[in-house]
Amino acid sequence: MRTLLQMEWEKSKKTTIWLIILFMTLIPVVYGVVIYTKVMVGEYNSPFENQWLMAWMITSLFYASVFLPMLSAMIASSLCRYEERGNNWLKLFTYPVKHEAHFFSKTLWLFMLLALAQIMALALFILLGSILGIKGAVPWATLFKSSLFGWMGVCGLSVIQFLIAYYLKSYIKSMILNVFLCCIAFLTATSAAGQTFGMFYPWTMPYAGTIENSSGILPSLTQLFFLYTSGFLLVAMTAGQKIFIKRPH
């Protein structure tokens, strides 16, 4: 597995995926923090008891509901896109390792890149918030928990997105489908029902994990979210490796 992960690193290090991760985290963070500091506080003078959490919730509305699922789709599609060129899937399957190992190495690498995105988003949020003058103590524990649960939600989703890209054999088709499904997720996330049942729609899971663990609303859903996303990931990984092996190349 270590060798396969090293192969994924070698394939990725010279691509644009690092810039994509940077911009897909930077854009919503800048937008959310600026909206809070310059509009809600600057123009309407509407400070909240915990300014950091309010700014984080505004940022998460765009980042966790749209940008993070789209980033996950872009990374997953990119991992497949490289292998589709020159029919590299067949070459991979000639290596003296089980085919399942390729599936697990790619999904594990996908999880690691998404963890990097979460770390970058949180770091950029703290940095920009400090620069623009968000007041109060930074609620590190809450923000970390929110980021962690958002990562848990997007990991399960990313397996589905990887299988979509793998099955469709087309980066463009995969991204078009994900854009459509992300639009549904945004509408679901911003609806009243979405606050309670949004976690059950895969493209909304990143947002559900992020918001439920930062807003303090419906804390009883935290345990349900953990159990549901853990089970969802287990089922997706189990079914995914079977689909990965059986797909014709």
DSSP 134-177: --S---HHHHHHHHHHHHHHHHHHHHHHHHHHHHH--HHHHHHH
Cβ(85)–Cβ(79) below 8 Å: no
Angle at 143 between CA 75 and CA 127, to 5 degrees: 80
At 193 the pLDDT is 57
The answer, yes or no, to whether residue 201 has pLDDT greater than 80, is yes
Average pLDDT over residues 221-225: 76
Mean pLDDT of 42-59: 78
Average pLDDT, the chain: 85
Model pLDDT for residues 85-144, shown as the tens digit of each residue: 767 777 777 777 888 888 999 999 999 999 999 999 999 999 999 999 888 889 999 999
**Per-residue pLDDT tens digits for 146-184:** 999 999 999 999 999 999 999 888 888 899 999 999 888
pLDDT of residue 73: 95
pLDDT band at 55 (very low <50, low <70, confident <90, very high): very high
Q: What domain range includes position 104?
A: 2-246
Task: Read off the amino acid at residue 198.
Answer: G
Q: Based on the structure, what is the number of domains in the chain?
A: 1
**Residue 196, both tokens:** 């309670």
pLDDT of residue 217: 44
Give the pLDDT confidence score for residue 168 in this predicted structure.
Answer: 87
Cα distances (Å, whole numbers) of residue 94 to 90, 97, 108, 179, 224: 7, 8, 21, 34, 42
Has residue 216 got a pLDDT over 50? Answer: no
State the pLDDT at residue 194: 56
Question: CB neighbours of 214 closer than 8 A, spacing ≥ 6?
Answer: 53, 56, 57, 60, 142, 143, 145, 146
pTM comes to 0.91
Q: What does the pLDDT average to over 29-43?
A: 85
Query: Tokens 């989703």 — which residue?
Result: 157
